[in-house]
Amino acid sequence: MCTAINFKTKNMYFGRTLDYEFSYGEKITITPRGYEFKFRHLGVNSNHYAIIGMAHVFEDYPLYYEAANEKGLAVAGLNFVGNAYYWKPSLKKNNVAQYEFIPWILANFSSVAEVKKALKNINITDDEVNEKFKCASLHWLISDLNEAIVVESTSKGIKVYDNKVGVLTNNPQFEYQMFNLNNYRNLSICDPANSFSEKIDLNRYSRGMGGIGLPGDLSSMSRFVRVAFHKLNSKCNDDEISSVNQFFHIMNSVSQTRGLCAVNDNYEIPLSVGVIEGDKVIVKEGPLSGMEGLIKKIDRHKRVAVLNAQMFEQDVDIKIGLEIIEKYKK
């Protein structure tokens, strides 16, 4: 269950949650100019924009989950199980394999306007990376500073929607997510008047009562409504620190607590799993894999690793879930 948004002040900020019960070992991945993208049907492209994002790298090929290019165009693919449908190659259109969709867009285009034009002659194919990596059922949020769209490939064809709210979650189809917002038109950031009845005097006993009815569960439709309400009503200065801070506040409105969404014998939001060998931490699996050098300290009781990173030329401590399953001396 994932949620993606764009957030605009002076610049555009883009990101998503990745709430899943396991990890493919995704890492921050940079594809520089000059790297040879060997597209399944469109040949080799080494003259493209630089790209950065989260990807699982398979045989030196970045399978991006979400990414942005040097021009400020960003894309995220989110689960769309049961609705996504991909096609066999067509002689009449440009064929792009499903797993190539994000790199194809970010390698070639600098704006959503350019993407819209290209999508008129595109066919998203059902080619797989290999037998191990089957086609992921996805739809995509694509954004730049000026606008955002959603792309969905279904059995009825490819649909491109203008996305005025800059939000995407999972099922159902985007047009139904947008229509569902009509059910919440009564929500307000202001204190509501008593419209229950003139015959009874009802008190405003708390601030924030205009938001009563905002859904709080973890379902995709509820997350769509909740994050849209937070995002569209947020107030923020346009400097970098304020904007990034506000972006994470908005994303926190749909953050999950581990244990609240059971999936078979596991839960969404997996902890990284590691061992301590002497004075070294070795992460066996999970989002922290390969990032051991950034770990500053570990709280085994709280199952948290504290990472040291730099943001805005300042050292910042970031807490990420880590479960130490074994500790032994060399």
- Answer yes or no: 261 catalytic: no
Q: Which of 202, 229, 96, 200 is nearest to 158 (CA)?
A: 96
Distance CA 85, CA 323 (A): 37
Q: How many CA atoms lie within 13 A of 303 on its CB side?
A: 12
Residue with tokens 């307000």: 188
Q: 21: helix, coil or strand?
A: coil
Cβ-in-10-Å burial (0-12, 13-18, 19+) of 305 comes to: buried
Q: Please, where are the H alpha helices in 203-277?
A: 220-233, 240-252
Q: 253: helix, coil or strand?
A: coil
Distance CA 174, CA 150 (A): 7
Distance CA 27, CA 243 (A): 24
Distance CA 3, CA 18 (A): 7
Neighbours of 144 (CB within 10 A): 24
Taken in order 16, 21, 24, 27, is the CA torsion positive or negative? Answer: positive
* Cβ atoms 286, 270 nearer than 8 A: yes
Taken in order 164, 165, 166, 168, is the CA torsion positive or negative? Answer: negative
Distance CA 105, CA 77 (A): 12
Catalytic residue IDs: 2
